[in-house]
């Protein structure tokens, strides 16, 4: 999978700091290589983000939520139809939801915070 290879080109790549809020609401600050996907970053740093289909746009388990103001300044590329299709199935969908496997870390990501959506218990059970 991308992100685990240690080619020289990658070694030299710039690093930024990214914060993840995990399923339990705990914050983790990790180093992220520019050019890696947020799913790769999460996997490399033991952040609990599943990525069941390994980044092939077939599962939505890499769903991440950006902060609205940060999303605004990051000026990410618009999601493709295929990403939107998968997001439609994601738990706890928000306006700033994206799939972690589709978002590549850029220099501008320094200091941003993204959240793994909290797993919802079915209301019927409560």
The C-alpha atoms of residue 10 and residue 90 are separated, in whole angstroms, by 31
Rule CB under 8 A: which of 16-75 touch other proteins? 23, 50, 52-54, 56-61
* Bridge partners (DSSP) listed for residue 81: none
The C-alpha atoms of residue 9 and residue 110 are separated, in whole angstroms, by 21
**CA distance to 19, 56, 73, per residue, from 113 (Å):** 4, 24, 13
H/E element, 66: strand 63-66
**In terms of CB distance, is 81 or 125 closer to ligand FES?**
81
**In terms of CB distance, is 72 or 82 closer to other proteins?**
82
**In terms of CB distance, is 60 or 115 closer to ligand FES?**
60
Rounded to a whole number of angstroms, the minimum distance from the CB of residue 61 to ligand FES is 6
Q: Which residues bind ligand FES (CB under 6 A)?
A: 39, 51-53, 55, 57-62, 86, 99, 101
The C-alpha atoms of residue 14 and residue 10 are separated, in whole angstroms, by 9
Contact residues toward other proteins (CB under 8 A) are: 23, 50, 52-54, 56-61, 81-82, 84-86, 88-91, 93, 119-122, 125
């Amino acid at each position: 999978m991308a992100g685990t290879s240690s080619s020289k080109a990658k070694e030299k790549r710039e690093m930024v700091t990214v914060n993840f809020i995990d399923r339990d609401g705990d914050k983790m600050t990790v180093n992220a290589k520019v050019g890696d996907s947020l799913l790769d970053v999460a996997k490399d740093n033991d952040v609990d983000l599943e990525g069941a289909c390994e980044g092939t746009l077939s599962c939505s388990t890499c769903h991440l939520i950006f902060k609205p103001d940060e999303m605004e300044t990051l000026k990410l590329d618009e999601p493709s139809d295929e990403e939107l299709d998968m997001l439609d199935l994601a738990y706890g969908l928000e306006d700033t939801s994206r799939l972690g496997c589709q978002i590549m870390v850029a220099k501008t990501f320094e200091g941003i915070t993204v959240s793994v959506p909290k797993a919802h218990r079915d209301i019927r059970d409560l």
